[in-house]
Chain A
Amino acid sequence: MNPVDAREAITLAHFAEWARVVASLARRFGDLDVAEEAAAEAFATAVERWPVDGVPPNPGAWLTTTANRRAIDRIRREHKRLDKHREAMLLTDDTPPEPLGAIDDDRLRLIFTCCHPALAMEARVALTLRLVGGLTVPEIARGFLVQEPAMARRITRAKGKIAAARIPYRVPSAQDLPARITGVLAVLYLVFNEGYLATGPDTDPVRADLTAEAIRLTRLIRMLLPGDGEVAGLLALMLLTEARRPARVSTAGELVPLGEQDRGLWSEALIDEGHRLVRERLASGVAPGRYQLLAAVNAVHTDARDARDTDWSQVVALYDQLVRLDRSPIVALNRAIAVAELDGPDAALPIIDRLESALQGYHAFHATRAELLRRLGRPGESREAYDRAIALAGNSAEIAYLAHRRDDLD
Chain B
Amino acid sequence: MLVVDNLYAGYGKSEVLVGTSLTVKQGTVVGLIGPNGAGKTTTMRAISGELKPTKGTVMLDSKPVQGLDASRIARLGLAHSPEGRRVFGPLSVEDNLLLGAYHRLPRFFGFRSRAAAELERVYDLFPRLMERRRQSAGTLSGGEQQMLAIGRALMAQPKIMLLDEPSMGLAPVVVDEVFSIISRLKESGITLLLVEQSASRAFEVADYAYVMERGRVVMEGKPAVLQQDARMVAAYLG
Q: A and B: partners?
A: no
Which residues from chain B sit less than 8 Å from chain A, CB to CB? none
Which residues from chain A sit less than 8 Å from chain B, CB to CB? none
